[in-house]
Amino acid sequence: MKEDDAFARLTVGLGQNTAEMPSTKKTEKTAAAATEARQAAPETPTRDGTRRDVLVDMGHGPVPLYQSIKLELIRAISGGKVQAGMALPTEKELSERYNVSIGTVRRAMADLVAEKVLVRQQGRGTFLAPFDSARMLNSFWHIVRKDGEREIPIVQTLRFEESKAGARTAERLKIRTGDPVYDVLNVMLLGGEPTLLDALQIPKALFPTLTHAQFVKRDSTIYDLYRDGFGVTVARTVDQLSSVPADAVTAKKLDIALGTPLLEIVRVAYTFENQPVELRRSLLHTEKYEFVDETGGSRS
């Protein structure tokens, strides 16, 4: 089955403005199209040949069926078939479309809500979360003043050059050793003081035309630049934290004493489809700031 066919099956009715009630004629056409798509869709049997919502073979061995439904949703989103603010079909509609239980669809969508890809609105439905600068900052910027206040950092780029990926960088970015990467070093000022040193390794293959001027003159976040300039959306990040002493270079750039304890944050950012976008090592001076990660719920 062609990818466009999969998108067509998934996106029957996607993007419908919930403020506008469709006519009966349009509803009948949509229902007919959905029925036709379901009838044309190939069966996805589990290991024992039944339709039970247990396992499906994705070519790399069996995985839970809900993950395959989640992947279909991700493909539609990452392919631009669903726009921010668009309502997705209901769980019942998706379960009928894919011939699986509502529980399977609910679990797939719950994962995407937890990952902040989708948002649920009581009484209205489930929507693709807007990827604006404010959301990017709130979702991926975890540095908070110790009194709880969030500040927008002032970023100064100290280095932007092309280099070759070393073995460890290549492993993290899932590229080959020696592949071209952009080597970037930023210092971030908070409260007027240098507080965070940020070293990034960005695979050139994803951003082949990225320039120093384009990088430093952006008027939003780096992740906004990835998305708006190159169509690469950061959907999630994995952060590993540890404590390290400031070496001579870091101490000079952050204007602190040699050996000052720093919080080291090693991050890999990923797209919807688990493609690594960047490897980042951040060193935070924690005298006035700390790393805060909120999971679940919403900020009042």
User: What band does 55 get if pLDDT is binned at 50, 70 and 90?
Assistant: very low
Q: How many CB atoms lie within 10 A of CB 225?
A: 18
Residues ≥6 apart with Cβ < 8 Å to 283: 196, 197, 244, 246, 250, 254, 262, 263, 264, 265
CATH architecture under which domain 133-291 falls:
3-Layer(aba) Sandwich (3.40)
The rounded distance, in Å, linking the Cα atoms of 117 and 243 is: 31
Please report the pLDDT score of residue 243 as a whole number: 97
Q: CATH 1.10.10.10 spans which residues of the chain? A: 3-128
User: What band does 60 get if pLDDT is binned at 50, 70 and 90?
Assistant: very low
Please report the pLDDT score of residue 192 as a whole number: 81
The mean predicted confidence, pLDDT, of the chain is 76
pLDDT at 44 over 60: no
Of 128-137, 199-208, 268-277, where does mean pLDDT reach its minimum?
128-137
pLDDT at 47 over 50: no
What is the third-level CATH fold of 3-128? Arc Repressor Mutant, subunit A (1.10.10)
pLDDT in tens, 5-28: 333 333 333 333 333 323 334 334
Please report the pLDDT score of residue 23 as a whole number: 39
Please report the pLDDT score of residue 119 as a whole number: 83
Is residue 135 helix, strand or coil? helix
Please report the pLDDT score of residue 50 as a whole number: 38
Q: CATH 3.40.1410.10 spans which residues of the chain? A: 133-291
**Sheet strands (E) in 25-74:** 55-57, 62-64
The rounded distance, in Å, linking the Cα atoms of 173 and 77 is: 22
Please report the pLDDT score of residue 33 as a whole number: 42
pLDDT in tens, 75-126: 666 555 666 677 888 899 988 888 899 999 999 888 888 766 788 888 888 8
The rounded distance, in Å, linking the Cα atoms of 119 and 126 is: 6
Please report the pLDDT score of residue 32 as a whole number: 45
Of 122-131, 195-204, 286-295, where does mean pLDDT reach its minimum?
122-131
Tell me the average pLDDT across 152-163. 89
User: What band does 63 get if pLDDT is binned at 50, 70 and 90?
Assistant: low
Cβ proximity of 268 and 278 under 8 Å? yes
Please report the pLDDT score of residue 261 as a whole number: 97
Is residue 55 helix, strand or coil? strand
Q: Tokens standing for 146?
A: 């110790």
pLDDT higher at 60 or 98: 98
Angle subtended at Cα 112 by Cα 106 and Cα 113, rounded to the nearest 5 degrees: 85
The rounded distance, in Å, linking the Cα atoms of 60 and 187 is: 42
Cβ proximity of 227 and 207 under 8 Å? no
pLDDT in tens, 234-270: 888 999 999 999 999 999 999 999 999 999 999 999 9
